[in-house]
Amino acid sequence: MEKSAELLKKLSKAFGPSGYENEVIDIIEEELEGVCETRRLKSGSLLAIKNGDGRGKLMVSTHIDEVGLVISKVKNGYGRLVPIGGIDPKVLPSQVVKIKTRDGFQRGVVGMLAPHLQKGEKQDVDFNSLFVDLSCAPAAQVGDMAVVDTVAECIGDEHFHGKALDDRASVVALILALKELSRFKTHADFYALFSSREEVGMVGAMTGTFEVKPDLGIAVDVTFGDNDSPHAPKIEINKGPAISIGAATHKNSYDLAIKVAKQYDIPYQIEPSPGRTGTDADAVQLAYRGVPVLLFSIPEFYMHTPVEVVSLNDVKWTARLLSAFATEWGGINAH
């Protein structure tokens, strides 16, 4: 658990908004050295390959990018910000941001007027009312990318908080799965796609699927662990990964995933997905000549904020589900 937490801390702290994921890829490559073959794709994704017994190509896709910001205007030492992906502007005031400038990383502050000086009615925060103070980032200019600079650490024995756990928690699970596969004598040919630019259109998943041409795709992402919908089972943190069932997911493979979870004593939850999932699964199933897909999701609190929270147990159980599924899946004849 301690090693998983340290890896998740490194990945959470890494700078990797959509299209700028190289720092994340460097960490993954270092972690997988000697474990399996890796290669960088033109789309900005990383592909890791763990050869198996030739029964078929199983591709697991998890995205490496994070939501971020880009400086769109600079005037008198202050910058305007626009979002990369889905950021609620209400989480940004009073945050420090890490800016990738031509002179290296510099910091800015998204400030708020002190309560004592505020006058009139308080208005909703939006990107039209936000500025970043660049007095400590003189090299910052229009087009520079930024992410919130925040702490990443364990909370208690099981929980972990930080930025970009969507989807770096899944990245850790996929790395652990690749390492676990070394303990099995036989398994499917396992292609781990660490996909780029999911937050702006699932670009890496789509192009990576054409590269691999898999027989089955599994997307691994996070899901809302704090959403108690009246129309669906409550997904809870620290209760195992959520296995999706719905229009997008392949029924026979879903049944096998449930069987494997029970067989290997892996806690799991069931999440209905009636249509689009908002994950790499949406792109994978439309790529190549059409690929059947599954979706495994790690429950998370406070998605797309600087304080996302996951359970390290859920990360571990997701890794076990992936590696066990790869040993039990029947390959090209499983459909």
Top-confidence residue, 7 or 184: 7
State yes or no: pLDDT of 281 exceeds 70.
yes
* Domains along the sequence of the chain with CATH: 2-65+163-333 (3.40.630.10), 68-148 (2.40.30.40)
pLDDT for 335 equals 61
Structure confidence at residue 114 as a pLDDT band (50, 70, 90): confident
Q: What is the greatest pairwise CA distance in the chain?
A: 69
Q: Do residues 63 and 198 lie in contact, with contact meaning Cβ atoms separated by under 8 Å? A: yes
Q: What is the pLDDT of residues 52-106, one digit of tens each?
A: 999 999 999 999 999 999 999 999 999 999 999 999 999 999 999 999 999 999 9
pLDDT for 332 equals 63
Q: Please name the helix (run of DSSP H) or strand (run of DSSP E) that holds residue 162, with its range, or none.
A: strand 159-162
pTM metric for this prediction: 0.95
State yes or no: pLDDT of 4 exceeds 80.
yes
Q: Please name the helix (run of DSSP H) or strand (run of DSSP E) that holds residue 204, with its range, or none.
A: helix 203-212
Residue in 198, 199, 271, 308 annotated catalytic = 198
Structure confidence at residue 120 as a pLDDT band (50, 70, 90): low
Top-confidence residue, 34 or 331: 34
Pairing of strands 159-162, 308-311: antiparallel
Q: Do residues 332 and 56 lie in contact, with contact meaning Cβ atoms separated by under 8 Å? A: yes
All residues at 6 or more sequence positions from 210 whose CB lies less than 8 Å from its CB, including other chains? 287, 288
pLDDT for 123 equals 66
CA distances for 274 relative to 162, 198, 236, 250, 252, angstroms: 30, 20, 19, 13, 17
HEC string of 90-154 equals HHCCCEEEEEEECCEEEEEEECCCCHHHCCCCCCCCCCCCCCEECCCCCCCCCCCEEEECCCCEE
Q: Please name the helix (run of DSSP H) or strand (run of DSSP E) that holds residue 270, with its range, or none.
A: strand 269-273
State yes or no: pLDDT of 15 exceeds 80.
yes
pLDDT for 34 equals 93
Please confirm, yes or no, whether 66 is among the known catalytic residues: no
pLDDT for 286 equals 94
pLDDT for 1 equals 61
Q: Establish whether the linkage from the previous residue to 282 is cis, with ω within 30° of 0.
A: no
pLDDT for 226 equals 77
Q: What is the pLDDT of residues 227-243, one digit of tens each?
A: 777 777 889 999 999 99
